[in-house]
Amino acid sequence: MKIVKRILIGIFVLIVLIVGAAILLPIIFKDDLIALTKQEINKNVRAKVDFETLDLSLLRSFPDLNLSLQNFTVDGIDQFEGIPLANGKELSFGLDLMSVIKGSGTIGINSIHLEEPNVNILVLADGSANYDIAVPTDERIEETASETDYSGMVIQLDEYSITKGTFIYDDRSADTYVLADNINHSGSGNFTLDEFDLDTETDIAGLTVSQAGIPYLKAAHTTLDAIFNIKQTESLYTLKDNALKVNDLLLNADGSIQMKDDDILLDLTFNSPQNNFKDLFSLIPNAYIAGYEDVQVDGAFVLNGEVKGTFNSEREEYPSFKILLDVANGRVKYPDLPMSIDDIFAKAEIESPSSDFDQLKVDVPRFSLQLGDNPFRGNFSLRNPISDPAVKAGAEGTIDLADLIKAYPMEGIDVLAGVIKADMSLDTRYSYMEKEQYDRINMSGDLSMRDFRYETEGLPPTSIKSAVAKFTPQKVVISELDAQLGKSDFRASGNINNILAYFSPDKTMSGDVILRSNTFDANEWISEEETDATTNAVNEAETSESYEVFDRFDFNIDAQVGSILYDEYELTNTKAVGRMMPNRLEAQSFSTIIEDSDMAGTGTITNMFDYVFNEGILGGEITVKSKLFNLNSFMSEDESTAAASTADETGSYELMLIPKNIKMTILTEVDRVLYTNLTLNNVVGKLYLGDGNAVLEDATARGLGGDIGLSGSYNTEDEAHPTFALKYNLNKLNFTETFKTFNSYAALAPIGKFITGDLSSSLILEGELGQDMMPKLETINAQGFLETINSFLADFKPFKAVGNALNIQELTDKIQLDDIKTWFTIENGVVAVKPFDVNIKGIAMTISGSHGLNQSMDYRIQAKIPREMLERSGIGQAAGNALDKLTSEANKLGLNIAKSEFVNVGINLGGTMTDPSVKYQLLEGDGSQSLSDAAKATVQQEIDEQKEKLEQQIQEKKDAAEAMVQSKVDAAVDSVKIAAEKGLNKAKDQAIGTIKDQVKDTTAQKFLDDLLKKDTTKTTDQIKDQLEKFNPFKKKKKNN
């Protein structure tokens, strides 16, 4: 009993230890494993890798330690930014527990499981692939050498699995698309052995394969049970027992695959062990439907093939291959369809003996069937497809499409009708056509289609009344094509000079096409864009057709369309004559009318098919001429504000976006341009479009009564915050029309509403636009000048307020503004006006200050007012009394102050434009020279007395003080004159004392500048320099 008891206690203790270890070990080692996981990922990939959570568990895969990543993502960078490479619900690893506990730096991986993974492989036309994310070997070695904690992981798999996976392979360089949906796969084997058997099971719910836009498999149910013998030391994989089933077709394969350096050595054969035509027929798209077991299919077939040799993509070395197919006595009858397809015979053999695809042979000596009462037969043979395609082909018979849809299931097609008749033969080489050796060309017959109709959900109905092609030794002549695509009609004719070029990827077909249409509605063929990046990538790959065939045309084009409907626009009387070459269109001439705007010109458009099919960048250079171009037609008026905007001159417009995948240059010559309520004449300029920007260079125009020069940029890269940068050169524009037209000018310089006459201006203007295409005035920064020419100011409330305050009638009447030049800056919507001089009816003024967008203002005016104007007013009498007192007090100081002709008044103008406030003070009572000289002598005497007391300080600042005092002595005179006018000796002493203090301090210059009108030469020179150096092409900061 004691023994039993001890055994039970021992078992209990062991269970407790095991359970405790299962709970504690994941906690103890979690941080180390998280660090290792992130380190290994970051060290080995060039992509954005992330996961939501990381879990550790010993109970889940005991005795292994389970490491799982939940909701992981791998996204591309650089050119594949925004395109997902992989994501999934869970990726879990079974880790060797002892290797984790030992902490030797090498952790063993015993199992890998993927749950709901999605893999999206994309290969671009240039061969670059989004799966190429591994860090180069040299970089990994360097990083590993610098790490001391871990050296990596060792794969010693026993098993792996994939559950509910999706795999997409979109190779645009080879025009190949593969979609494997709902993949379930598992494999088991001892990967620690040099040689072992890997036992795999695969089930794919839907396998789709297409090449060059032709679907070969469509959602085919595919299974594979296979055992591979693997010799790891030789990288040799040999097929043992295996069975591949695609829909009902069963295939067996035999042979091996070996990886040797950069080569893949292939030695494979395959065949179908069954010969029932029904199994083969199940592969045809749309044939394998629910209830296929009830479809009556008779006939037999033979299918076999082989692939032998070396594959190396870098050397462009490919294995030889051979495929043989033979179908005899086939018949197909679907139980729910009234007709059958009978007498199906087909024989095809494709052989490529080497890497030289010019040796490829394709032979289809017979293909025939009967549909209803109409037999159809054909044959095809191809040799030397690369260097000099030699084609022997023929077709004879009739296919009634109305009978075809009665005999073969057409999922998603509502209407299919039309009769195709063929009676043609061809036996020639490409070189015979190229050299125009027509006596060696055997090509004759006709191919026609009548009364074709096609209707399916999601697309406009299509009909072809007639289409006829005639084959001659010289060319294929398309004598007639009359079609209706939804609301669009078109008629075409033309010819193809070298049709055999179609069979060679290195050749280009040439010919001529004439197109005519009354109406083409492009809106019927434009689908809404997907918003989800992943969905967009998948759908685009599924639905986009290859543009490669279009990229092998060299055709002369003559097209005329009466009406083209695109988005909200209608283009009428469109004509184009040019040449369509591979991915390039040269327009010898084109013309169209968009509403009331006409355009005509010449030019070149590049990369157009890549732009249409693969979101490439559209380029080119176009010259456009127009008699009238109305930009308002392209800025949709906001219906919600249309009623309210009737009283507004400009209305409300939506943002006009510049495409990011366009890089074009447009040279323009337009007789008349309408933009909002602005009319421009004789517009000439150069416009660059690219990367969401429009840049205008050296544009000139005539408008608003004068000449306009314009350069600048319009940026919509950030659609929420579009920006602009413009440089205006305006010469002798009409004030009234300018401020009526440009609401930004009216807001930034509201005085312009009250001025008649002309203006000239140079202005750099930068800021942000609202979604209504109008500038956000609070964001505007600007600098420039404004000059008035033969102008008058009337009914301006701020000047009227000054006139009323001083009781000067001359300031309340109409005021002439002759040749006034004002320098200004605008920062964050605040206008700062630099000091400028003006003479208004004998009153000399220096004006400076600022105003805001809310029409608040803060202006300073130094006015030299004739004494006679002031004597007519109450303030003039007070001023006269003050002058008498000032003269008396000045005499006490030994100064001889005569009665002055002018009185200097400082005016502070505040409030708003509509409700101004006025404050003023007497700056000096005399503008005569005699008073100035007398005051100057007195001030100099006082300064000399102070110099004796401040000798040491003056010595230290001698040069600066002497220059300062001499250059600014007039300011000292002003201060003394104020004191004299007020009769206050104390004020005089304070002025002298202030000068003394300022001589002692380095801020003297600021004090003197405050008493005088500041020197604005430096500021205006800086503005001039900015105007000269304006560059609309400069790169903006992201937060600009």
Work out the pLDDT band at 39, boundaries 50, 70, 90: low
Over residues 135-188, the pLDDT tens digits come to 665 544 444 433 334 345 566 778 889 999 999 999 887 778 999 999 999 999
Work out the pLDDT band at 244, boundaries 50, 70, 90: very high
What distance in Å separates the CA atoms of residue 883 and residue 871, rounded to the nearest whole number? 12
Q: How would you write 885-896 as a 3-class SS string?
A: HHHHHHHHCCCC
As given in the structure block, the two tokens for residue 70 are 């939940």
Would the pLDDT of 911 be above 70?
A: yes
Nearest to 499 by CA among 473, 481, 480, 479: 473
Would the pLDDT of 744 be above 80?
A: no
Residue 436, pLDDT score: 86
Q: Please, is 39 exposed, middle or buried when counting C-beta atoms within 10 Å of its C-beta (0-12, 13-18, 19+)? A: middle
Residue 959, pLDDT score: 58
Residues 6+ apart with CB under 8 A from 365: 347, 379, 381
Residue 937, pLDDT score: 46
- Residue showing tokens 């800021």: 767
What distance in Å separates the CA atoms of residue 108 and residue 153, rounded to the nearest whole number? 6
What distance in Å separates the CA atoms of residue 723 and residue 715, rounded to the nearest whole number? 5
Over residues 987-1016, the pLDDT tens digits come to 444 444 444 444 333 333 333 333 333 344
Cβ–Cβ under 8 Å, residues 904 and 883: no
State the average pLDDT over residues 595-616: 83
Single-letter amino acid, residue 131: Y
Q: Which of 350-364, 755-769, 816-830 has the highest mean pLDDT?
A: 350-364
> In this structure, what DSSP letter does residue 46 have?
S
Residue 124, pLDDT score: 84
Please name the residue ranges forming H helices in 866-983. Answer: 867-871, 874-892, 929-949, 951-956, 958-967, 969-982
CB atoms within 10 A of CB 1013: 12
What mean pLDDT, rounded, does the chain reach? 78
- List residues bridging with 73 in a β-sheet: 50, 87
Residue 962, pLDDT score: 53
- List residues bridging with 109 in a β-sheet: 95, 155
Q: Please, is 219 exposed, middle or buried when counting C-beta atoms within 10 Å of its C-beta (0-12, 13-18, 19+)? A: middle
Residue 548, pLDDT score: 54
Please name the residue ranges forming H helices in 55-125. Answer: 97-102
Over residues 74-102, the pLDDT tens digits come to 888 888 888 899 999 998 887 776 666 66
Residue 987, pLDDT score: 40
State the average pLDDT over residues 261-276: 91
Single-letter amino acid, residue 371: L
Residue 265, pLDDT score: 94
Query: Sign of torsion, CA 654 655 661 667?
Result: positive
As given in the structure block, the two tokens for residue 542 are 């599924």
What distance in Å separates the CA atoms of residue 859 and residue 912, rounded to the nearest whole number? 11
CB atoms within 10 A of CB 85: 24
Q: In terms of pLDDT, which residue wins out, 931 or 754?
A: 754
What distance in Å separates the CA atoms of residue 1025 and residue 1005, rounded to the nearest whole number? 26
* Sequential DSSP letters for 534-569: HHHHHHHHHHPPP-TTGGGEEEEEEEEEEEEEETTE
> In this structure, what DSSP letter does residue 90 have?
E
Would the pLDDT of 524 be above 80?
A: yes
What distance in Å separates the CA atoms of residue 164 and residue 188, rounded to the nearest whole number? 18
CA angle 1026, 1029, 1033 (to 5 degrees): 120
Residue 916, pLDDT score: 92
Cβ–Cβ under 8 Å, residues 131 and 167: no
What distance in Å separates the CA atoms of residue 139 and residue 136, rounded to the nearest whole number? 5
Residue 314, pLDDT score: 79
Q: Which of 141-155, 167-181, 441-455, 843-857 has the highest mean pLDDT?
A: 441-455
Q: How far apart are the first and last CA of the chain?
A: 88
Work out the pLDDT band at 131, boundaries 50, 70, 90: confident
Cis preceding-peptide flag for 353 (omega within 30 of 0): no
Would the pLDDT of 305 be above 60?
A: yes
Single-letter amino acid, residue 151: S
CB atoms within 10 A of CB 735: 25
Cβ–Cβ under 8 Å, residues 29 and 56: yes
- List residues bridging with 848 in a β-sheet: 860
* Sequential DSSP letters for 695-762: EEEEEEEEETTEEEEEEEEEE-SSTTS-EEEEEEEEEEEEHHHHHHH-HHHHHH-GGGGGEEEEEEEE
State the average pLDDT over residues 400-425: 94
Work out the pLDDT band at 562, boundaries 50, 70, 90: very high
Lowest mean pLDDT among 123-127, 197-201, 344-348: 123-127
Nearest to 594 by CA among 617, 616, 626: 626
What distance in Å separates the CA atoms of residue 800 and residue 647, rounded to the nearest whole number? 29
What distance in Å separates the CA atoms of residue 988 and residue 253, rounded to the nearest whole number? 115
Lowest mean pLDDT among 386-395, 740-749, 834-843, 945-954: 945-954
Single-letter amino acid, residue 125: A
Residue 675, pLDDT score: 79
* Sequential DSSP letters for 510-529: EEEEEEEEEEEEGGGG-PPP
What distance in Å separates the CA atoms of residue 198 and residue 33, rounded to the nearest whole number? 29
* Sequential DSSP letters for 323-378: EEEEEEEEEEE-TTSS-EEEEEEEEEEEEE-SS-GGG-EEEEEEEEEEETTEEEEE
**What is the share, in percent, of the chain residues with pLDDT greater than 70?**
72
What distance in Å separates the CA atoms of residue 878 and residue 874, rounded to the nearest whole number? 6
Q: Long-range contacts made by residues 826-833, C-beta under 8 angstroms, separation at least 24?
A: 826/748, 826/765, 826/780, 826/781, 826/782, 826/783, 827/781, 828/778, 828/779, 828/780, 828/781, 829/777, 829/778, 829/779, 829/780, 829/853, 831/748, 831/749, 833/859
Would the pLDDT of 477 be above 90?
A: yes
DSSP-based three-state secondary structure for 994: helix
As given in the structure block, the two tokens for residue 138 are 């040299």
Residue 642, pLDDT score: 38
Q: In terms of pLDDT, which residue wins out, 632 or 470?
A: 470
What distance in Å separates the CA atoms of residue 201 and residue 65, rounded to the nearest whole number? 26
Residue 44, pLDDT score: 72
Would the pLDDT of 733 be above 60?
A: yes
Lowest mean pLDDT among 193-202, 858-867, 989-998: 989-998
Residues 6+ apart with CB under 8 A from 888: 983
Nearest to 296 by CA among 220, 407, 190, 405: 407
Work out the pLDDT band at 63, boundaries 50, 70, 90: low
As given in the structure block, the two tokens for residue 819 are 């040749």
The helix (H) or strand (E) run that includes residue 942 is helix 929-949
Cβ–Cβ under 8 Å, residues 570 and 594: yes
- Residue showing tokens 């430096």: 1018
Over residues 638-695, the pLDDT tens digits come to 433 333 333 344 445 667 788 888 898 999 999 998 877 788 899 999 988 888 888 8
Query: Sign of torsion, CA 593 594 600 605?
Result: negative
Cβ–Cβ under 8 Å, residues 329 and 302: no
Would the pLDDT of 239 be above 50?
A: yes
What distance in Å separates the CA atoms of residue 816 and residue 755, rounded to the nearest whole number? 9
Work out the pLDDT band at 64, boundaries 50, 70, 90: low
Q: Does the pTM of the predicted model rise above 0.85?
A: no
What distance in Å separates the CA atoms of residue 709 and residue 732, rounded to the nearest whole number? 12
Residue 45, pLDDT score: 77
Q: In terms of pLDDT, which residue wins out, 754 or 936?
A: 754
Residue 498, pLDDT score: 83
Residue 98, pLDDT score: 64
DSSP-based three-state secondary structure for 583: coil
Would the pLDDT of 981 be above 60?
A: no
**What is the share, in percent, of the chain residues with pLDDT greater than 90?**
34
Lowest mean pLDDT among 433-447, 455-469, 771-785, 792-806: 771-785
Residue 877, pLDDT score: 52
